[in-house]
Amino acid sequence: MRFFQIIKNTKNNLSLNKTRTFLTMLGIIIGVAAVIAIVSVGAGAQELLLAQVKAMGSNLIGILPGASDDKGPPAAVFGIEVTTLKYDDALEIRKLPDIVAICAYVTGRGTVGYFNQNKELNYTGVLPEYLTVEDTAVAKGRFIKQEDNDNMARNAVLGSKAASDIFGQENPLEKQIKINQITFKVVGVMTERGASGLQNQDEQVFIPLKIAQKIMLGIDHVAFIRAKVDKEANIEPSIGRVKDLLRFRHRIKDASKDDFSVRSTAQALDILGSITQALKMFLAAVAAISLVVGGIGIMNIMFVTVSERTGEIGLRKAVGAKRKDILLQFLVESAVMTSFGGLIGVALGLLISAAIALGVNYFGYDWKLIVAPLSIFWAVFMAAGVGLVFGLWPANRASLMSPMEALRKQ
């Protein structure tokens, strides 16, 4: 009966000043919503990236510039430019046993123009075997040929969306476009492919590797290399042969001084999974800091509440209320505020997560709305815990008041 009376008193006390109660809860609402949304977005991004890596196939080897240990990514993954991989490295890897296709890549971004149509797009310098390595095809015209690369021909192949954005219903084949004011002839249009990782493949322009290096970017290295192996069983032997070849070509005698990294799709999945999981947890922890800020706000308001209700405390103690009754009353009020704030925050976080999923899918990415029930439980549990922890000091202060002093101050 005492507990139900406390709940009734709590409802009455919190209803007396609804605006202040809501503003007190606001920090908890924002904190919980941020945790739910960030965990959901992190899980969605992780699923998207892993699905795209899986879609590339299980018989691919990736060669990246820069050293790394077996469980960590190379420096190139973090956007650090490393210039140790060359076009000739790719040509030599192509000669190895079990390698059926190879492609070297460089990337850039520029303004693609056709008369009065201008669009900012990514362009990628590739080799003719890109189609085999990436398991894709041309819808119209042709892809880049070896002679295009050897002769540095200014030919371009458009992604399906890039073609429609620039030319609309007009046939783009044999038309002249400009990429950063350099003229190219459109020789092909790719089939629709969709998003890969965090990039829409249909919004790209493909040009010969050498012209991308020499004319567009002014570099002599490649960003990365992908090699396709004839069958999955030959992945590990091929990785060993690629490492031996690159060490010979780069004059490396000590394996610990490698200036490159070689990964299979399975290894890339493991590394990517561990990185995205750690990043997701880190962001959730940062978002959870707002719960602490909200808790401090609750503690300050509870101190104000204790001061305002000094007379009530004195009167209740004078008629027989015990210290634990006063302590429990203020703790319950604090916990109820944070719990309701947590529930509202969960609803808001789910709405934000759903809105982000819809927005990302609108731009062509296969983004899944993933909300872990455990994250909801922990968010509400933490919110209630914050209320108890930060409400303890003001509640204890109220419970220690002398009834005579409380009535006199009133």
Domain locations in the chain? Answer: 2-52+272-409, 83-258
- Asked if 228 and 265 touch (Cβ cutoff 8 Å), the reply is no
* Alpha carbons 405 and 393: distance in angstroms, whole number: 19
Q: Residue 228: enclosing H or E segment and its boundaries?
A: strand 224-229
Instruction: Compute the 3-state secondary structure of the chain and give helix, strand, coil in percent, each to the nearest 5.
Output: 60, 20, 25
Each of the 410 residues of the chain gets a pLDDT tens digit; together they read 465 665 666 666 666 677 777 777 787 888 888 888 888 888 887 777 766 666 666 688 889 888 766 555 555 555 566 788 999 999 999 999 999 999 999 999 999 999 888 899 999 999 999 999 988 899 999 999 999 999 999 999 999 999 999 998 899 999 999 999 999 999 999 998 866 555 678 889 999 999 999 999 999 999 999 999 988 788 889 989 999 999 999 999 888 888 888 887 766 666 666 667 777 777 777 767 777 777 777 777 777 676 666 666 666 666 666 667 677 777 777 777 778 888 888 899 899 988 988 888 877 677 788 887 877 787 777 777 777 777 676 666 666 666 556 555 55
- Asked if 112 and 166 touch (Cβ cutoff 8 Å), the reply is yes
Tally the C-alpha atoms within 13 A of residue 351's C-alpha that lie toward its C-beta.
10
DSSP letter for 168, please. T
- Asked if 189 and 172 touch (Cβ cutoff 8 Å), the reply is yes
- Asked if 287 and 35 touch (Cβ cutoff 8 Å), the reply is yes
The DSSP-derived string for 84-137 is ---HHHHHHHHTSTTEEEEEEEEEEEEEEEETTEEEEEEEEEE-TTHHHHHT--
Give the model's pLDDT for residue 1. 43
* Alpha carbons 320 and 362: distance in angstroms, whole number: 64
Q: Which of 203, 220, 197, 240 is nearest to 77 (CA)?
A: 197
Query: What ranges make up the beta strands (E) of 23-98?
Result: 60-65
SS (H, E, C) 308-366: HCHHHHHHHHHCCCCHHHHHHHHHHHHHHHHHHHHHHHHHHHHHHHHHHHHHHHHCCCC
Give the model's pLDDT for residue 106. 95
Give the model's pLDDT for residue 375. 74
Give the model's pLDDT for residue 217. 93
- Asked if 1 and 330 touch (Cβ cutoff 8 Å), the reply is no
* Alpha carbons 162 and 165: distance in angstroms, whole number: 5
Region of 336 please: left (phi>0), alpha (psi -120 to 50) or beta: alpha
